[in-house]
């Protein structure tokens, strides 16, 4: 497992492992929370196997912020999409929200994307009624843009941000 200590905290940045997934799965207790987080292609109820398949764990760079006991506090994925570093399936443990972890997660994913992907800028999807996430993304400089293909969810927004 790749682990990077985050400066001035007891938190670490790690490649997501199987041992993290069961805890992360518990963050999504119902179908609505799963769709809001991962879109319409995540099966619910899920098993560990279907969860791994649906989030494309083997195909997409997947990271988690963990505490000193290696409990996952935040989760996200990055991959190239339309020439941008796309941030996908972003989540913070419900017990640790409103502590700045979402902002830290996004900043770290963007930094990793800059180092590992040949892309310019960033993108993500968010549901229009996910107000806390939408507010955070806008605060961090993401803005709504037209997506060049039809979206599968009616209330899905495509947000982009240019590199800093």
pTM for the model stands at: 0.92
Q: How many Å apart are CA 72 and CA 24, to the nearest integer? A: 7
Q: How many Å apart are CA 131 and CA 128, to the nearest integer? A: 7
Q: CB count, 10 Å around CB of 136?
A: 19
Q: How many Å apart are CA 144 and CA 93, to the nearest integer? A: 26
Nearest to 124 by CA among 164, 156, 97: 156
Query: For 135-146, how does the pLDDT look when each residue is reduced to its tens digit (9 = 90+)?
Result: 999 999 999 999
CATH number of 3-161: 3.40.630.30
Query: For 81-138, how does the pLDDT look when each residue is reduced to its tens digit (9 = 90+)?
Result: 999 999 999 999 999 999 999 999 999 999 999 999 999 999 999 999 999 999 999 9
> In the chain, where are the structural domains located?
3-161
């Amino acid at each position: 497992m790749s682990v990077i200590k985050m400066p001035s905290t007891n938190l670490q940045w790690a490649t997501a492992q199987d041992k993290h997934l069961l805890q992360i799965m518990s963050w999504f207790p119902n179908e609505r929370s799963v769709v809001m987080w991962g879109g319409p292609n995540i099966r619910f109820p899920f098993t560990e196997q279907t969860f791994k398949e649906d989030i494309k764990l083997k195909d997409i760079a997947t990271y988690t912020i963990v505490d000193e006991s290696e409990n996952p506090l935040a989760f996200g994925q990055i991959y190239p999409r339309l020439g941008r570093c796309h941030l996908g399936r972003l989540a913070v443990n419900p017990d640790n929200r409103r502590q700045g972890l979402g902002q830290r997660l996004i900043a770290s994913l963007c930094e990793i994307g800059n180092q590992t992907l040949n892309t310019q800028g960033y993108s993500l999807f968010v549901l229009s009624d996910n107000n806390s996430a939408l507010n955070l993304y806008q605060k961090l400089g993401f803005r709504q843009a037209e997506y060049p293909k039809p979206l599968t969810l009616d209330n899905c927004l495509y947000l982009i941000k240019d590199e800093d």
